[in-house]
Amino acid sequence: MAASSWKTLEVRKHHEQKDVCFTRAKYREGRRPKAVRVYTINLESRYLLIQGVPAVGVMTELVQLFAIYGAVEEYRVLDDYPAEQFTEVYLIKFQKLQSARIAKRKLDERSFFGGLLHVCYAPEFETVQDTREKLQDRRKFIARTTNRDKNLDRTEQKHEEPDTSKEVVNNLQLETSEIETSNVSEDWNTCTYYGYPMLPPPPQEDLQRFTSVSGNNYLEPTVHDPLFKDFTTTSTGHAANTGKHGVTEWSPPSDIRKYHGPKEVSFTKSNTSVARFIPRTTHLQDRKRRKEQVAVDSLIGIDKNDAEIFVGPKLPEEPKVDMGDDSLNVSADLIRNRLIKVSCAFVLLKTFLLLSSFYLLY
Residues in touch with other proteins (CB under 8 A): 5, 8, 12-14, 21, 23-25, 27-31, 36-43, 101, 105, 123-128, 130-132, 135, 138-139, 141-143, 145-146, 149, 152-153, 155-157, 159-160, 163-164
Q: Give least dist CB 240 to other proteins, A.
A: 35
Closer residue to other proteins in complex, CB, 164/268: 164
Closer residue to other proteins in complex, CB, 42/217: 42
Closer residue to other proteins in complex, CB, 12/283: 12
Q: What distance in Å separates the CA atoms of residue 280 and residue 275, rounded to the nearest whole number?
A: 14
**90 close to 119: Cβ distance less than 8 angstroms:** no
What single-letter amino acid sits at 229?
Answer: K
The CB density around residue 238, as the number of other CB atoms within 10 Å, is 17
Closer residue to other proteins in complex, CB, 58/120: 120
Task: Give the burial string for 137-162 (b: 16+ CB within 10 Å, else e).
Answer: eeeeeeeebeeeeeeeeeeeeeeeee
Closer residue to other proteins in complex, CB, 11/296: 11
End-to-end CA distance of the chain: 89
Q: Give least dist CB 22 to other proteins, A.
A: 11
The CB density around residue 218, as the number of other CB atoms within 10 Å, is 19
Q: Give least dist CB 88 to other proteins, A.
A: 22
DSSP for 76-140, please give it.
EE-TTS---TTEEEEEEEESSHHHHHHHHHHHTT-EETTEE-EEEE-GGG--HHHHHHHHHHHHH
What single-letter amino acid sits at 145?
Answer: T
Task: Kindly give the interhelix angle for 227-241 and 152-195, rounded to the nearest 10 degrees.
Answer: 130
Q: Give least dist CB 279 to other proteins, A.
A: 38
**135 close to 41: Cβ distance less than 8 angstroms:** yes
Closer residue to other proteins in complex, CB, 14/258: 14
Closer residue to other proteins in complex, CB, 108/306: 108
Q: What distance in Å separates the CA atoms of residue 234 and residue 252, rounded to the nearest whole number?
A: 9
Q: Give least dist CB 155 to other proteins, A.
A: 5
Q: What distance in Å separates the CA atoms of residue 186 and residue 191, rounded to the nearest whole number?
A: 8
Q: Give least dist CB 95 to other proteins, A.
A: 19
Q: Give least dist CB 352 to other proteins, A.
A: 51
